Chains A and B, each alone.
Chain A
Amino acid sequence: MRHRWWLPVMATGAVLVFASSPVSLPTSWPAWAQGGSQGSWSIRAPYRAPVNEVAVVAVGNKLHVLGGSVLGIAGPYHEEYDPAADKWSARAMLPKGLDHIGAAVANGKIYVIGGFVASVHRDAQNAVYEYDPASDTWRILPGMKAGRASVGVAVIGGKVHAIGGRNADGQTVATHEAYDPATNSWKQLASLPKARDHAAVVATEGRIHVIGGRFGLPTDKTDMHDVYDPSSNTWGVAPPMPTARSGLAAALYKDLVVVLGGELPPSTFSQNEAYDPKTKSWRALTPMPAGRHGTQAATVNGELYIVAGSLRPGSAGVTNEVLVFTLP
């Protein structure tokens, strides 16, 4: 358990100072600390264990946090968060203990794709599971053609796209496959322009954005921003992310592609940057109270959540913090 107190972020978002001290977290940021038009952060009930390399999705106005590593053990952890009650509950465990899972929601069901069996980046799996929140049950689906993890997953046109990742030999791949729930089958599509993993992958306005990531080692980070058009099965290029990074979290929030955090040994990123597909431009939002990676983000009830992860690179500083970002 790590208790952290941080000094509030300036409205410019340029300065971030924090110090460790064994006191409880504030329940909300003081008004003078809020970021105005660049948004503000608050804190919710923590996840019930410090966990990193988790998957986070929202379905049915609830947040689901899946897999990841607790005490260094990749497990089939599955907890559901109810924002209305600010409360966590245990849900049916994943069919397998995995970390670095990719996850997305289609037609009210959660799709969980790939993952490593243990730290660090060990033995990527081709596993694919479907979770039905109505019955709290899992179904095992046909596997991808090969194992990969830290794969970017996004849903477009009712199909679940699995993009990039790292294979069982530890190499990044450009593979792009899509799962069609209607036919329960996978199809290979146009590969990413450059193989990578630990990227941010978000679908919006009929396109999939693949942002940042790494080509190999965590230091091999990139600001690349590729955009996939399913109608032509082709990749195009969009303005690069301002701060190159990998191991970042992403979510669609208020029509913006928001990318948060990431790692760059020996530190982590607190950056919160947003791409606006309408203006085709990036803007800086209020940074997170402290840098983190090894987590994902999801939007529920008009708020963006980022859950747990690691405050320091690798598996260091594993946290149970739940942060919420809101824009006016």
Chain B
Amino acid sequence: MMTLACACAAVGTLASAWTSAAQAQGSWTTKAPVPARLNEVTVAAVAGKLHVMGGSVLGFTGPYHVQYDPANDSWRTRAPVPRSLDHIGSVELNGKIYLIGGFVGGGVHRDGQNTAFEYDPASDTWRILAPMKAGRASVGVVALDGKIHAIGGRSPDNNVTVATHEVYDPATNSWKELAPLPKARDHAAAGVMDGKIYFAGGRFGPSTERTGMLDIYDPKSNTWTSGPAMPTPRSGLAGTVYKGLFMVLGGEMPPTGTNPENEAFDPKANAWRTLAPMPAGRHATAAAVLGDSVYLAGGSLRPGSGQVTDQTIVFTMP
């Protein structure tokens, strides 16, 4: 793996160059790479381990499921996802991982599915849940008050983005429709802070139609309001909540660029902050908090399916 060795060396060089800025903005390290280069994955953390699920390897969308153990910096395969899907949305809730929607592969953004799966790490088994009312993929998925929200995405009908907002209740295994997004989009980032859902960026149609919109959902009133726009409009970005901040990382900017940007919305200041950028721009990956750090695994360093990577990068802030 000469290519990988070179990439790691480049990462190392960049990392040392950032040390001066690392105090306030955090810093990046790399961990053992995923055992294959894969993109359009979803990432979730549960029971002290990171799970990377679905996505595409060598251009094939498969039911990939690998688990990273930070204790020994190693990967292992786990029970495959019940279906071969990419662009899945996922979240952890009560010790289980929920996977929502996804495209079937065999092309770009094909045939968004209404599937919902639940993974139990204790038994390494999957359960098929009640489906959403219609297929969609690249959907924003978060957990709030014991329920799973699935927001926006892309429909299989003419491949258009949707504003749909449904919520899944694990207690009743059923879905309910809630207030739709103010504007239909997908490839966005979503997170929950202080009882509210934050939904940032994304695209309205083609990947060039990117936005910096920030929408905030209040479950008490079932309404959306607008927040300050993300400084760098982008789509195909990763999002997670870390140390009281809604972090949005990466994204794609065809025809040649990907975003290294790492920006965070601070709800207390009602403002965005710039954090240490990723070692290189990427998209088609997702982020999850494991221990005291934010992990991203796999993805593409170039737009579309360009330069698929196996990198595992880790962000830590004091």
Instruction: Note all chain A residues with C-beta closer than 8 A to B1.
Output: 1, 3, 24, 46, 320
B23-44 contacts to A, CB under 8 A, are 33, 35-38
Is B80 close to A, CB under 8 A? yes
Task: Give the nearest-CB partner of B32 in chain A.
Answer: A1
Task: Give the nearest-CB partner of A90 in chain B.
Answer: B59
Q: Please tell me which stretch of A71-79, A125-133, A237-245 contacts chain B, meaning at least 4 of its Cβ atoms lie within 8 angstroms of it.
A: A71-79
A70 touches B80 (CB 8 A): no
Is A49 close to B, CB under 8 A? yes
Per the bound structure, the CA–CA distance linking A71 and B33 in Å amounts to 13
B80 touches A72 (CB 8 A): yes
A48 touches B4 (CB 8 A): no
Instruction: Report B231 CB to chain A, min CB distance, Å.
Output: 35
Interface size on B, residues (CB 8 A): 21
A75 touches B62 (CB 8 A): yes
A71 touches B59 (CB 8 A): no
B1-59 contacts to A, CB under 8 A, are 1-2, 4-5, 33, 35-38, 57-59
Per the bound structure, the CA–CA distance linking A49 and B56 in Å amounts to 12
Instruction: Note all chain A residues with C-beta closer than 8 A to B77.
Output: 71-72
Is A93 close to B, CB under 8 A? yes
A36-51 contacts to B, CB under 8 A, are 46, 48-50
Is B60 close to A, CB under 8 A? yes
6 shortest interchain CB distances as A-B pairs: A72-B77, A49-B36, A73-B62, A75-B60, A77-B58, A71-B64
Sample (18) of A-B pairs whose CB atoms are under 8 Å apart: A1-B33, A3-B1, A24-B5, A46-B1, A49-B36, A49-B57, A70-B36, A70-B64, A71-B64, A71-B77, A72-B80, A73-B57, A73-B80, A75-B57, A77-B60, A93-B60, A97-B62, A320-B1
Instruction: Report A67 CB to chain B, min CB distance, Å.
Output: 10
A71 touches B37 (CB 8 A): no
Per the bound structure, the CA–CA distance linking A71 and B37 in Å amounts to 10
B58 touches A49 (CB 8 A): yes
Task: Give the nearest-CB partner of B66 in chain A.
Answer: A71
Is B120 close to A, CB under 8 A? no
Instruction: Note all chain B residues with C-beta closer than 8 A to A318.
Output: 35
Select B58's contact among A3, A72, A90, beta carbons within 8 Å: A90
Per the bound structure, the CA–CA distance linking A77 and B33 in Å amounts to 21
Q: Given A49-B37, A72-B77 in contact, is the A1-B60 Cβ separation under 8 Å?
A: no
Is B233 close to A, CB under 8 A? no
Mask of A295-328 contacts with B, CB within 8 angstroms, 1/0? 0000000000000000000000010100000000
Residue of A46, A70, A320 contacting most chain B CB atoms (<10 Å): A70
Instruction: Note all chain B residues with C-beta closer than 8 A to A75.
Output: 57-58, 60, 62
Is B63 close to A, CB under 8 A? yes
Instruction: Note all chain B residues with C-beta closer than 8 A to A320.
Output: 1
Select A76's contact among B5, B60, B63, B65, beta carbons within 8 Å: B60
Per the bound structure, the CA–CA distance linking A75 and B80 in Å amounts to 13
A73-118 contacts to B, CB under 8 A, are 73, 75-77, 79, 90, 93, 97
Instruction: Note all chain A residues with C-beta closer than 8 A to B59.
Output: 90, 93
Instruction: Note all chain A residues with C-beta closer than 8 A to B4.
Output: 1
Per the bound structure, the CA–CA distance linking A50 and B62 in Å amounts to 15
Per the bound structure, the CA–CA distance linking A121 and B64 in Å amounts to 18
Per the bound structure, the CA–CA distance linking A75 and B36 in Å amounts to 13
Mask of A174-206 contacts with B, CB within 8 angstroms, 1/0? 000000000000000000000000000000000
Per the bound structure, the CA–CA distance linking A320 and B35 in Å amounts to 10
Instruction: Report B308 CB to chain A, min CB distance, Å.
Output: 9
Per the bound structure, the CA–CA distance linking A202 and B315 in Å amounts to 53
- New A-B pairs, 5, CB < 8 Å, besides A70-B58, A97-B60: A3-B1, A24-B2, A49-B36, A50-B36, A76-B60
Per the bound structure, the CA–CA distance linking A46 and B4 in Å amounts to 11
Select B37's contact among A24, A48, A79, A90, beta carbons within 8 Å: A48
A70 touches B5 (CB 8 A): no
A48 touches B58 (CB 8 A): yes
